[in-house]
Amino acid sequence: MHASLPEVYLARHGETAWTITGQHTGRTDILLTARGEQNALSLRQRLNGIAFAKVLVSPLSRARRTCELAGFGDTGEVAPELQEWDYGDYEGRRTADIRQERPGWDLFRDGSPGGESVAAVGARADRVIARLRAIDGHVLLFSHGHFLRVLAARWLGLPAGDARLFVLSTAALSILGYEHTREEPAIRLWNDDRHVV
């Protein structure tokens, strides 16, 4: 990689009660667990010493708290487009329960009734990517699992539905960047959670 190429660091928010139970947590503003806070603090060490031209954070409290505990509360700019997928009728529900009513349902193919479609989330990710590519320097995002997965797929030019291929743990760190030039987007690091307890 050429040293001057910018990188986009992705930090998924820390653990919540609903991530433990596997409930879809879109726009419900749920707090971090004690473990989630501890893991957000551990991101501070991982990110220490990296200079960011911009830090963007979802307006939801679990992402803002992760940003704060990671040491970027003073510099994080709230960006509504970084919110999690709007799950509509499936908010607070588990995939296994949804599939009992709707066998074979897949979020990344079918979207959520009363919420966002796969295409809508993909379009939102494309708008974020356009903004990111206009920033000169490294950028740090604090956001959510399903949205960041779609963002990674679109960064690579893949369909938004291919985000199903990218698993992302709570408080994990990932890096989007380039291989040789800006015409060669790549994933530099994915789902690094070695700092998580």
List the catalytic residues: 13, 84
Concatenate the DSSP letters of all residues of 110-174 into one string: H--TTS--HHHHHHHHHHHHHHHHTSSS-EEEEE-HHHHHHHHHHHTT--GGGGGG----TT-EE
Q: How remote is the C-alpha of 129 from its chain's centroid?
A: 13
Instruction: Map residue 53 onto helix, strand or coil.
Output: coil
d(CA 55, CA 131): 12
